[in-house]
Amino acid sequence: MSLDELFGNDPGWVVAVKALLIFVFLVLYTLFNIWFERRVVARMQHRIGPNVNGPFGLLQSLADGVKLGLKEEIFPKAADKIVYYVAPIIAVVPAFLAWAVIPFGPVVNFFGHETPLQLTDLPVAVLYILAVTSIGVYGLVLAGWSSGSIYALLGGLRSSAQVISYEVAMGLSLIAVFIYAGSMSTSEIVAAQEDVWFFIPLLPSFIIYVIAMVGETNRAPFDLPEAEGELVGGFHTEYSSFKFAMFFLAEYINMVTVSALATTMFLGGWRAPFGIAQVWEGANEGYWPVLWFFGKTLAFIFLFVWLRGTLPRMRYDQFMHFGWKWLIPVALGWIVALAFIRKAQLEGMLDQTAMIVAAGIAGIFLIVTFLLPTKDDEDEIEPDEPLEFDAFAGGYPVPPLPSQREAAAATTTTTTSQPTDGGER
């Protein structure tokens, strides 16, 4: 039976059970990831981490969820009531919908019915994931706009600019996979990686995707929309209790979503790691592939946590400069080069080994290029004497602090009292 015939023939109860299992898994995986992040960061910082609620502190995330649900609900006086309540729903629902086309494993016996471990599939499944996940940013933008707060509004604007910038780079990195696999179906992409995982011949695309997925999920060092240093909490500053928990849930589910997409596109999906399938024939049969799939996604989650515990937050101008002037041009150049390489490979002018070597050289060149220091376009000229502070310089509506206002008034008084007739009074 072909892959096209596997989908669309399941009974209604099988589809309902699959959808329920995906929902339960994502909620439980979110609770585990919160605990996992705290334990890993605690180990990096030589702390213990959660260890009281439950064995090894595993119930700490559940306790935090109950606490958030029981907190007092607040409603800002200047907020738009309808949009304020709808925004968290818009943020969290697309995070669940993206998992409809993610393959967890091969065809299995599911309560006496032969079905693939995937809810459904589409000829353009990857485009469906990109489209659905991009809708989630509307929840952040609307949350910032409807809260009636400048901090929240700025966080929402940053979210929209960030998603537009890094989703372009993410989409360009996936085009290489489409060229190499000849399909945009997630199940067919996994099937095309039976011999070699795509992260090897498509190493530059894999590196670009990993960088873009961190920016897409607003995670450190790219967590500019919720930077507490200048925006307090960003788009969710005015949210509390269960509505804030929904934004929290959406962030962690999006982390798992982009990790699952990376696993599907570059790491062979649910296929067993190298070496296991060669010594164990049943490694890619039954329900064992589910274990390989979730192990790979957990490795990406560890990468998210590792970056958060080690790298400082970037400046916003550096962040946008990196996305538009580095990631996108490099991705476009790699796509053009890959199109010629793939054409030569299909016509027998380039073998698999040469392709892997070329991809490795390109990936190393890409990493070295990112690490090279860059010179600023314009050198800042420091004034000889300290200039008087002007809170409204540049047109920014930032009123001066009381101490600054008093200092400005004193300076004005001293200036007006100076003689204007050559020193004679």
Measured distance CA(120)–CA(11) in Å, rounded: 12
Confirm if 40 and 263 have CB atoms less than 8 A apart: no
**Per-residue pLDDT for the chain (425 aa), expressed as one digit of tens each?**
555 567 777 888 899 999 999 999 999 999 999 999 999 999 998 999 898 888 889 999 999 889 888 888 888 888 888 999 999 999 999 989 999 999 998 988 888 888 899 998 999 999 999 999 888 888 888 998 898 888 888 888 888 888 888 889 999 999 999 998 989 999 999 999 988 899 988 888 999 999 999 988 888 888 887 777 777 777 888 888 888 889 888 889 999 999 999 999 999 999 998 878 778 888 888 889 999 999 999 999 999 999 988 888 888 888 888 888 889 999 998 898 888 888 887 787 766 677 677 767 776 876 777 666 666 544 445 555 555 656 555 555 566 666 666 666 666 665 555 554 544 44
CA-based nearest residue to 22, from 264, 329, 333, 260: 260
How long, in residues, is the chain?
425
For residue 188, give both structure tokens. Answer: 């067919």
- Residue 422: CB atoms within 10 A of its CB come to 5
CA quadruple 20, 25, 26, 30: dihedral, nearest 10: 150
Looking at residue 401, what DSSP letter applies? P
Residue bearing tokens 């489209």:
131
| Signed CA dihedral, 54, 56, 60, 62: sign only | negative
For residue 128, give both structure tokens. Answer: 């469906």
Helix axes 241-266, 150-181, angle to 10 degrees: 20
CA atoms within 13 A on the CB side of 284: 17
> What pLDDT is recorded for position 224?
80
Measured distance CA(167)–CA(248) in Å, rounded: 21
| Signed CA dihedral, 219, 150, 94, 191: sign only | negative
Confirm if 237 and 274 have CB atoms less than 8 A apart: no
Total-model pTM: 0.81
Q: Kindly give, in sequence order, each residue whose CB lies less than 8 Å from that of residue 181, ignoring residues fewer than 6 positions away.
A: 188, 189, 192, 193, 198
For residue 296, give both structure tokens. Answer: 């790979």
> What pLDDT is recorded for position 376?
53
For residue 223, give both structure tokens. Answer: 């967590």
Phi, psi of 107 (to 5 degrees): -70, 130
Residue bearing tokens 């699959």:
18
Whether the bond between 201 and the residue before it is cis, its omega within 30 degrees of 0, is no
Measured distance CA(152)–CA(142) in Å, rounded: 10
Measured distance CA(98)–CA(125) in Å, rounded: 9
Residue bearing tokens 């996936």:
174
| Signed CA dihedral, 107, 295, 254, 34: sign only | positive
> What pLDDT is recorded for position 125?
93
